[in-house]
Amino acid sequence: MKYVDAVTDISIADIKVDLMRTAYDNDRALLNTFDPRVVLVWSVLFMIVPWLFYDPLPLAILLGAAFVLAALSQVSKYLLALLLFGQITNIGFFVVMVPAMGGAIQAAGYLGDNTGRVTEAIATLDPAVFGEVWSIVATATGRGIRTATTSQSVGIDAVGAVVPFFLKLTIISVISLAVFSAMSPQKLSKGMLRLGVPRQLTFAIAYGYRMMPLLVEEYHALVNSFRLRSEVPEKTGFLKWRYFYYLLKLSVKAFYPLIFNVAKRARVTVEAMETKGFSRSLGDERSRALRTEGMMVRTRDVSFVFGSLLFIAAVWAFT
Amino acid sequence: MATTTSTDSGGVFSFDHRDMMVFILVMSLHGLQSMITELLPEFSVGGLGVSIGPFWFVAMSVVLLFRSFWACLAIPVGGIVFGEILIGDFSALGAVEGLVVITTSWFFAMSLVTDPSDVKQIAAVGFLAKAMEETAAWFIDVGKFYVGVEELEAISWLPETVWATEGMGALIQIVVAGIVFGAVPTLFLYPRLRGKIEPLLGMRSAGGRDGPMFTRSSLKRLVAWVGLLPVAFAVETLSETSGGLITFTPEFVETYGQTFLFVPIAAAALIAFGLVAYRQRKVEGGV
């Protein structure tokens, strides 16, 4: 159980630190130094590119490149591990699921072929025919189990087919991790604003950036105050389920006071924004221009985009 | 003054400071919820990785209290901003899918509320919204497999397995997020919030209405849900069309060799470099 403990004992504090680092400490990341519009367009482009490849080799090369980018962007290792674990279990799942499904289909097919006799048996209510029904069901089950246990090759074929698919998904996730943990949210929301995204939505990003540490802190404090005022179950039960259930109930309950606090905060925020004329500036083109002035595409941005395009072309041509 | 209720068709999409408050409220709460439930490993039982579903009761209670279009939109936006962009795990095209599917599902379900003081009705409507959302996501996820896996049909039992596993996933989500962490806590939370939280924002509770649950505006919203599903899917699988464009090139590739690919890229690069260098010099020279 030592290994399990190592996984479950990651404390909230560790995650909080990791999270804050991901969201706030990114000035030196490579992708943060480019123009946000270029990075946005680039990332959309590179979320489409992996779908064009079907062979594992070029996809593996692209994945390697994505990892290099992630390393340059100081992506949180915790998130990367979480992502990889998810994808690997997804693939492993297919080894078991496809033969099992095949068995079920075989069994259902055999039953389907014999529906005539089964319905006849039910219609006549003859005990002798019921025996026959029983044997049909038994044969169907037997066939199903035999298929499920003997058709491992089909499972491996299926994995061969889905591995490129999951490679694509992993590449896309790693690239987006690199891009969005590297770019600072102010830059991101400015870039989106310039690309024509409504201001209500780009505001949300900036607001979330400002508020996230406060909200997380507040929620943590609420959970802690609930813990102080309540009793931990003495018997933890099988796999500590009582303890987890207790924590879960606390974390659900803590949302009640949180909702009121956030409501108060939302009102104050909107009042402050209205004082500064937010609604009036919403549809105003001059306000948009004022907020995003100073953004410029430079030659290094262009070299970044075309450099990566050439890389893709090389992968395409030489694999 | 009450917020825009689901019944008045005019001005549903208008945006004033009340909508802004509701938008911020729902976005922050739902976003925080999705971030917490996504990150806390404490909530997975042992090493089994049985994670706890998202706390949908937060969105259900708050959105159905205010019932405006902006509240619906705030659900996916909160999830994207807190659960994806700030963490860094942003699925650009997948986010568009969520934006369309979640917003339209909730926008439709919301219009069915006739009596906001009836907690059971509220919980049922919230559950319906979650179920619609997951069903739509099921079809879209299976569609992704059809696009992303070469010759999916050729491998025996694989399509059935994909349909079944994705369907099971959706069903589990509907039960866990829709009922266990959705409708059931909403039954307790909603009545405790109603009438208390609206005054905090300087509003009155949204009123009910007479007549049947399913009205003409509900029908319009249902049509929008059905109509926008293919759009969500199309965004997800933009690649299919671009794949069609690319498969057109191998003729050139065969004639001129594979290095032909570099010609258009190099040409485009030259033009782009020229333009940017020119503009940069003009700006810096002008200052």
Query: pLDDT, tens digit, for every residue of A152-184?
Result: 777 777 777 788 888 888 888 888 888 877 777
Q: Does A59 touch chain B (CB under 8 A)?
A: no
Running DSSP on this structure, what letter comes out for residue B177?
Answer: I
In this predicted structure, the answer to whether residue A199 has a pLDDT above a threshold of 70 is yes
The answer to whether the Cβ–Cβ distance between A164 and B150 falls below 8 Å is: yes
Model-level pTM?
0.76
Residues of chain A numbered 90-109 and touching chain B (CB < 8 Å): 93-94, 97-99, 101-102, 105
The answer to whether the Cβ–Cβ distance between B161 and A48 falls below 8 Å is: no
What CA–CA distance (Å, rounded) separates A208 from A284? Answer: 23
A185 band by pLDDT with thresholds 50, 70 and 90: confident
**Distance from the Cα of residue A46 to its chain's centroid:** 17
The answer to whether the Cβ–Cβ distance between A297 and B262 falls below 8 Å is: no
What CA–CA distance (Å, rounded) separates A121 from A128? Answer: 9
In this predicted structure, the answer to whether residue A292 has a pLDDT above a threshold of 80 is no
How would you class A182 by CB atoms within 10 Å of its CB: exposed for 0-12, middle for 13-18, buried for 19 or more? buried
pLDDT score recorded for residue A256: 92
What CA–CA distance (Å, rounded) separates A59 from B148? Answer: 13
Q: Which of B25, B270, B168, B89 is nearest to A176 (CA)?
A: B89
B260-263: list long-range contacts, CB under 8 Å, 24+ apart: B261/A313, B261/A316, B261/A317, B262/A310, B262/A313, B262/A317
Read off the tokens for A93: 């799942």
Give SS3 for A2: helix
Q: B20 to chain A: which residues are within 8 Å by CB? A: 200, 270, 273, 278-279
* Closest B-chain CA to A300: B273
Alpha-carbon radius of gyration of chain A: 28
Residues of chain B numbered 73-132 and touching chain A (CB < 8 Å): 77-78, 81-82, 84-93
Q: B41 to chain A: which residues are within 8 Å by CB? A: 7-8, 10, 15
Q: Helix count (H) and strand count (E) of chain B?
A: 12, 0
Domain ranges of chain A: 26-183+298-318, 194-283
The DSSP bridge partners found for residue A163 are: none
B105 band by pLDDT with thresholds 50, 70 and 90: very high
Read off the tokens for A270: 């909107």
* Closest A-chain CA to B149: A165
ipTM of the complex: 0.75
Q: Is A76 left (phi over 0), alpha (psi -120 to 50) or beta?
A: beta
The answer to whether the Cβ–Cβ distance between A98 and B148 falls below 8 Å is: no
Q: B15 to chain A: which residues are within 8 Å by CB? A: 200, 279, 282
The answer to whether the Cβ–Cβ distance between B276 and A208 falls below 8 Å is: no
Closest-CA distance, A20 to chain B, in angstroms, reads 9
Q: Residues B81, B83, B89, CA angle at the centre, nearest 5°?
A: 95
- The pLDDT of A293-297, averaged and rounded, is 76
| Residues B136 and B173 sit within 8 Å (Cβ to Cβ) | no
Give SS3 for B2: strand
Q: Please provide the average confidence, as pLDDT, over all residues in chain A.
A: 79
In this predicted structure, the answer to whether residue A260 has a pLDDT above a threshold of 90 is yes
| Residues B24 and A266 sit within 8 Å (Cβ to Cβ) | yes
In this predicted structure, the answer to whether residue B15 has a pLDDT above a threshold of 50 is yes
Residues of chain A numbered 192-231 and touching chain B (CB < 8 Å): 200-201, 204-205, 207-209, 211-212, 215-216, 219
pLDDT score recorded for residue B131: 93
Q: Which of A40, A300, A298, A305 is nearest to B276 (CA)?
A: A298
Nearest CB to A306: which of B23, B43, B272? Answer: B272
Residues of chain A numbered 116-145 and touching chain B (CB < 8 Å): none
| Residues A107 and A149 sit within 8 Å (Cβ to Cβ) | no
Give SS3 for A54: coil
pLDDT score recorded for residue B260: 62
The answer to whether the Cβ–Cβ distance between B160 and A101 falls below 8 Å is: yes
pLDDT score recorded for residue A242: 83
Q: B23 to chain A: which residues are within 8 Å by CB? A: 200, 204
| Number of residues assigned to chain A | 319
In this predicted structure, the answer to whether residue B253 has a pLDDT above a threshold of 70 is no
What CA–CA distance (Å, rounded) separates A261 from B200? Answer: 10
